[in-house]
Amino acid sequence: MRTFSTFSKLFLVVFILFFSSCNSHTKNKKTAENPDKENWIQLFNGKDLSNWDIKFTGHKLGDNYNNTFRVEDGMLRVSYKNWDSFNGEFGHIFYKGVFSNYRLRVEYRFVGEQVKGGPGWAFRNNGIMIHGQSAESMELDQKFPTSIEVQLLGGSGKGERPTMNVCTPGTNIEMDGKLITRHCTPSKSKTYNGDQWVSVEVEVHGGKVIRHFIDGKEVMHYEKPQLDPNDQYYKKLLPANGDKILTKGTISLQAESHNTDFRKIELLVLDD
């Protein structure tokens, strides 16, 4: 009886230690799989436009023309409610700071009608501008910040119109080792019609590679974002060392004549 009791206690101790070890290993594995779970930065706080700067074409920095960028119902809205017509007053709202290596998650939707006078190409069109110049460095009448544009498009209900494309105002990129100088290159995404929410992500690795995702699936990637020597602002923005590769920059959202809602804008800084 004493021998059985001792054996039972020994077995129980070994079992507890084994279970604790397995449980600890499982917890550590989960932690390893989600090491940055706590480090997402909420660029939009759902309450106000703190830490954001606004620049419209033809207007001084800080002038939120016609109260276009606003917070309503917990969303950051690009609203043309107060506009009679559009006359080239392109707007951008910049998050303060400069970023290089990160993942950026955004949830957006297009709503309502395009404001009168908006260009045809701007129908259900917005963009996430990355590796951009600062808002302060933009000229008074400059239309778009020199940047890499992660283009957001909504469908018209007719034909294909992919989203998460790349456009290059004042810049160029490389794809498969070849320099791409055309302004926009389409992704392989499907078309999103109507006012549905779309969840997208951009993964940026400095001046090396940039990847676009929709619902966790990659729809395009490209390399070596760089300043375009043929652009009018090239000499102004070229750093003193003469390196035209863009390794960091600002993040901004657009106002291009169509109402757009953003309900999530969050960023995770990555290691270099």
Segment 208-219, tens digit of pLDDT: 999 999 999 999
Pairwise CA distance, residues 146 & 59, whole Å: 17
- Where residue 144 falls among pLDDT bands split at 50, 70, 90? very high
Beta strands (DSSP E) in the chain are 41-42, 52-56, 69-72, 75-78, 91-99, 101-114, 125-132, 148-153, 165-167, 171-175, 178-180, 184-185, 198-205, 209-214, 217-227, 249-255, 258-269
Residue 18: pLDDT band by 50, 70, 90 thresholds? very low
DSSP tag of 67: G
Percent of the chain with pLDDT over 70: 86
Give me the architecture of the 42-269 domain, per CATH.
Sandwich (2.60)
Q: How many residues does the chain have?
A: 272
Span 41-65, average pLDDT: 98
Gap between the Cα atoms of 171 and 210, Å rounded: 14
pLDDT > 90: percent of the chain: 85
- CA–CA distance from 43 to each of 110, 155, 252, 271 (Å)? 20, 27, 11, 19
pLDDT of residue 33: 56
Res. 207: pLDDT tops 80:
yes
How many helices, marked H, and strands, marked E, lie in the chain? 2, 17
**What residues form DSSP beta bridges with 201?**
105, 213
* pLDDT score at 272: 78
Separation of alpha carbons 146 and 175, rounded Å: 19
Per-residue confidence (pLDDT) for residue 35, from 0 to 100: 54
The per-residue pLDDT for range 61-114, each reduced to its tens digit, is 999 999 999 999 999 999 999 999 999 999 999 999 999 999 999 999 999 999
Q: How far apart are CA 169 and CA 151, in angstroms?
A: 11
* Coil, helix or strand at residue 14: helix
Residue environment code for 50-73, b if the CB has 16+ CB neighbours within 10 A, otherwise e = eebbbbbbeeeeeebbbebbbeee
pLDDT at 108: 98
Domain extents in the chain: 1-31, 42-269
Output the six-digit token pair for 159: 């034909």
Q: Amino acid letter at 69?
A: F
* Cα–Cα distance for residue pair 26/30, rounded to 1 Å: 6
Model's pTM, two decimal places? Answer: 0.86
According to DSSP, residue 41 is labeled: E
Q: What integer pLDDT is reported at residue 34 of this predicted model?
A: 58
When the pLDDT of each residue in the chain is averaged and rounded to a whole number, the result is 90
- The predicted model gives 190-197 an average pLDDT of 97
> For the segment 235-264, what is each residue's pLDDT rounded down to a tens digit?
999 999 999 999 999 999 999 999 999 999
- What sign for the dihedral angle of Cα 164, 165, 169, 171? positive
